[in-house]
Amino acid sequence: MQRPVSFTRYWRDVGHKPGMAAGRYPQKAANYFLRLVKSAEANAQVKGLNTASLKIVKLITNRAPKAPSAGRRRHTARRSHLEIAVAEGAVRKSDDRKAKKMPLKVKTP
C-alpha cells in the first residue's frame, strides 16, 4: 500500500495515482505471490539449503486453463500458473553454467 502498480494495458475505469496515470494496489495478487515465495523458502529449508542466501533464479508465468462456466456466466477469470526456482548463493550471468544450482519448482493452481 506504499507504491501503486501502474496499469498500462487494462487501464479503463482505473483511477489515477500520485506520479502516474492509472494504477492500483493489487493486494490479492501480492498475497498469492508472497505465499509462493514463502513456500519456496520452506521447500529449500527442507532440502537442507541455507535460506539466508537464497536467490530467485527463475520466475515464469504461464496461462492456466479457463475455469468451467455454466449458465449465464459469460466471462471467465484470467488464471495463471507461477513457477519459481531458487538457488543457494549469488549467481552471476558469467558463472551461471558453473554455479551449482538446485532449483526448486513450486506451482500454484
pLDDT of 14-46, one tens digit each? Answer: 888 888 888 888 888 889 889 999 999 999 999
Asked if residue 71 is part of any domain, the answer here is no
Asked if residue 8 is part of any domain, the answer here is no
Asked if residue 48 is part of any domain, the answer here is yes
Task: Residue 97: give the domain boundaries.
Answer: 24-65+78-109
CB hemisphere CA count around 39 (13 angstroms): 15
**What is the rounded distance in angstroms from the CA atom of residue 50 to the CA atom of residue 56?**
13
How many angstroms separate the first and last alpha carbons of the chain? 26
Asked if residue 46 is part of any domain, the answer here is yes
pLDDT of residue 28: 86
Asked if residue 38 is part of any domain, the answer here is yes
pLDDT of 70-104, one tens digit each? Answer: 777 667 677 888 899 999 886 555 555 555 555 55
pLDDT of residue 105: 64
Counting the structural domains of the chain, the total is 1
Asked if residue 94 is part of any domain, the answer here is yes
Asked if residue 43 is part of any domain, the answer here is yes
Asked if residue 37 is part of any domain, the answer here is yes
